[in-house]
DNA sequence: GATGAATGAGTCTTCATTCAT
DNA sequence: TATGAATGAAGACTCATTCAT
């Protein structure tokens, strides 16, 4: 297997000039659209090829098979998410502020990639992943970013001293379910408007006093 | 088609007398095992029939098709969940206490049905559900129970006056992600031990003071 | 994999009553026709199914895949060949007579199965056979029958004391190439008429005196 | 299309100067290696191009398609075989001696080209050859050399007066099957050591007296 | 001339569903 | 009523061949 599938990020820069977008990128873009709409199993390789304006065989030049394409898409999305969150939270100080920015970045990313993340997080379960834990680790790799924030805050006495694994999962749960709720509403409201409520829920809980 | 349902606990009681368990029940039990292990798409009707100790054709006597079987299983599980949560939370007083019991019931149910709920909540997305909203309503029907609790608490001035939809989704997110975390650990700990932390997170948030 | 593919030979007896022929047998008969005409690679599973008057899926109920079908066909033909040769040569005495009957049986078999044996002997080479030697052993298993004959003759002082492996391959070469020659002629002559010449070639060679 | 052929020995002489080997020759050499190892159907044009150190498109500059490449390779090998046998048998006198040299030349050629000849002789069957007879004629064209030898011997009263077609096929059978036997042994012995036995088999047969 | 990315016709294989027994 | 052999539509994947550079 040649390593056509390993490319650098330059091609993103020129997306305005359609002819300059690398074939690999075209496929990933089409794959995201199709997988997002139909989920893994109902997505046809033909449909992805058609949407990418490429022949079916071309898909297979770049990705061993449908599953590898799916996982590559997921991997690269997670990587993108992580790198966005990292760079954003790097820009600010203070545990609370950092966590806020962190959450905001997550939500912005999910807002942009809409349904993809549901598939990202759950559908892969159904796809035979030889090492299930490894898979999950990759998908959930981004929780470390939350964990780091939280640890920092705990050490500074801003956050409670709770298991950071517990907290990052709990916070992620809040984030994801609010994204799901928003998705279900068909853009009736802007999920970013929910941020204050989300922060309040996470920081102070629901009880009065 | 007869309508013996999962809730109808009678047939469970006589499981020692194998011949008394209704065929429909046998199929649903087998289906839960198989769907839980492989997910919807990788589950074979043959496997379900084999596990149920029945002929494949029999499955189709009781359920129109694989999808209907899957949805029936889900419907009945959700119904069972709702009825359990309802009866448990009916036993106690006070908004806080009620919400706690509510959450505990959820977690106990998920603990028992393990992987099924992941499929329940997310895989269905991949299955063509003509009316997507209707589908979701059914699956998420149980959020009303949370909503009721919360509304009651809000009115009594125990909980903040926030949108109950927002709160129920947020709480559900916390619950589900903690279940996922627990599932991933391969029973290294008892998820029920996490309850105090979960309550504290939901009621008071993570911030000190 | 269930073992539908293991059946006994009874179904052969009733081939006149078409409806009594087992599905497995029907597939093998169709496969022989198609493989004989087109060779392994150009034969379509669809064509075999159509010729057998069965659905394509049925082929796969009985044989794991096209290759297994091909190999099963070959195995069973070799088995049939061996058993015919054995029973025929068992009926007569004397090394020379036995060898003659042996050769005659081979040729009759090849006459009946025409092109199949070319495929049997050579095309399989092209099909990935994990243990190549094992494959060959199976295909050429029948040479032992010749070897036995020859050894007996050598011990009785009728045949020269030459390596029996060498002799059986040489004799088989004579047989097969005469079959090929006959096949090429499109039934212009009866290959059985060549038997005297073949015997003379093998027993006495081509030199005068 | 130029017509540098394998026979044209000039380019072989300068193999040390890699750049002097014609592209066509490079392709044929690579094709022989690949076809010999995998057979026609499992050989990939990519693999041949890679082995030849050329681009895939270049293959198609020199050969219309894979099949033509295969046939050209075979044609040129047969031509080479014929020319070697002819020149060798031209060097000696006497029907017996000539036939011996003939056989020796064959075996030497096959020894050098190992597995290729199996493919040469049989796999082509599987390739749609519009005029099957024409194909065979070309492949088996070399039998005329044996036929000539035999006819000469028959007329001189050295060999029996049998159909020369019958004899050449029979002798070829002996030769080929001994080559196969040798090939199967993985060079455990030198096939040229078998020559005396082969001569004896062909000239005198297996019977004593 | 040489190249190799792109192509899509061609096939195998799967598995939910049916229906004769 | 229960069965499971038969089915065939559907879809993943391959690879010889083309053609723009």
The string of pLDDT tens digits covering residues D71-89 is 899 889 888 888 998 899 8
pLDDT score for A44: 96
Residue A199: how many other CB atoms lie within 10 Å: 17
**pLDDT score, position C9:** 37
pLDDT at B9: 36
pLDDT of C6 reads 36
The answer to whether residue C16 scores a pLDDT higher than 90 is: no
Q: What is the pTM of this model?
A: 0.84
Per the CB < 8 Å rule, is D118 touching C96? Answer: no
Best to test chain C binding among D119, D126, D146 (most C CBs inside 10 Å): D126
Give the Cα separation of D95 and D91 in Å (integer). Answer: 12
Please report the pLDDT score of residue C192 as a whole number: 96
pLDDT at residue B127 greater than cutoff 60: no
Does the pLDDT value for residue A132 go beyond 80? no
Task: Tell me what pLDDT residue A180 has.
Answer: 84
Q: What is the pLDDT of residues B147-189, one digit of tens each?
A: 888 998 999 999 999 898 899 999 999 998 898 888 878 789 9
- Protein-proximal nucleotides of chain F (any atom < 7 Å from a CB): 1-9, 11-20
Q: Which single residue has its CA nearest the C1' atom of nucleotide E10?
A: C44
Q: Output b/e per residue, B82-91; b: 16+ Cβ within 10 A.
A: bebbeebbee
Q: Please state, in angstroms and rounded to a whole number, the distance separating the CA atoms of residues A76 and A73.
A: 5
> What's chain B's average pLDDT?
82
Q: A157-173, pLDDT tens digit by residue?
A: 999 998 988 999 999 99
Rounded CA gap, D71 and D76, in Å? 8
Asked if residue D34 has pLDDT above 80, the reply is yes
Tokens of C186: 């499109």
Closest CA to D147 of D159, D135, D131: D159
Residue whose structure tokens are 């091609």: A11
Q: Which nucleotides of E are covered by protein (CB under 7 A)?
A: 1-9, 11-20
Mutate to test the interface with D, among C149, C154, C176, C181 (most CBs of D within 10 A): C181
Instruction: Kindly state the percentage of chain D with pLDDT values over 70.
Output: 80
Q: Choose among B138, B128, B145: nearest CA to B65.
A: B128
- The pLDDT-based confidence of B11 (bands split at 50, 70, 90) is very low
The reply to whether B46 has its C-beta less than 7 Å from any atom of strand E is yes
State the pLDDT at residue A145. Answer: 83
Distance B48 CA to F5 C1' (A): 18
Is the predicted pLDDT of residue B2 greater than 50, yes or no? no
Reported in sequence order, the residue ranges of chain B that DSSP labels E, i.e. its strands, are none
Higher-confidence residue: B60 or C81? B60
Q: What is the DSSP letter of B102?
A: H
Say yes or no for a CB contact (<8 Å) between B204 and A207. yes
Instruction: Give D-chain residues touching C208 at CB under 8 angstroms.
Output: 157-160
Q: Residue A16 — very low, low, confident or very high, per pLDDT cuts 50/70/90?
A: very low
Which structure tokens are listed for B93?
């007083």
Please report the pLDDT score of residue C202 as a whole number: 96
């Amino acid at each position: 297997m040649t390593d056509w599938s390993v490319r650098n990020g330059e091609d993103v820069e020129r997306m305005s000039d359609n002819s300059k977008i690398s074939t690999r990128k075209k496929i990933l873009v089409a794959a995201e659209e199709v997988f997002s709409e139909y989920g893994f199993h109902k997505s046809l390789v033909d449909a992805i090829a058609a949407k990418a304006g490429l022949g079916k065989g071309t898909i297979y030049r770049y990705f061993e098979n449908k599953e590898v394409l799916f996982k590559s898409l997921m991997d690269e999305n997670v990587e993108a998410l992580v790198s966005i969150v990292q760079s954003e939270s790097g820009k600010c100080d203070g545990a609370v502020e950092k966590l806020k920015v962190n959450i905001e970045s997550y939500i912005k990313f999910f807002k942009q990639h809409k349904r993809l993340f549901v598939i990202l997080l759950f559908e892969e379960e159904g796809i035979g992943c030889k090492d299930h834990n490894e898979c999950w680790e990759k998908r959930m790799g981004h929780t470390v970013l939350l964990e780091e924030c939280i640890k920092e805050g705990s050490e500074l006495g801003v956050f409670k001293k709770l298991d950071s694994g517990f907290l990052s999962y709990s916070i992620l749960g809040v984030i994801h379910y609010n994204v799901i709720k928003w998705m279900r509403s068909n853009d009736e409201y802007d999920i970013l408007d929910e941020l204050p409520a989300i922060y309040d829920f996470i920081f102070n809980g629901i009880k009065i006093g």
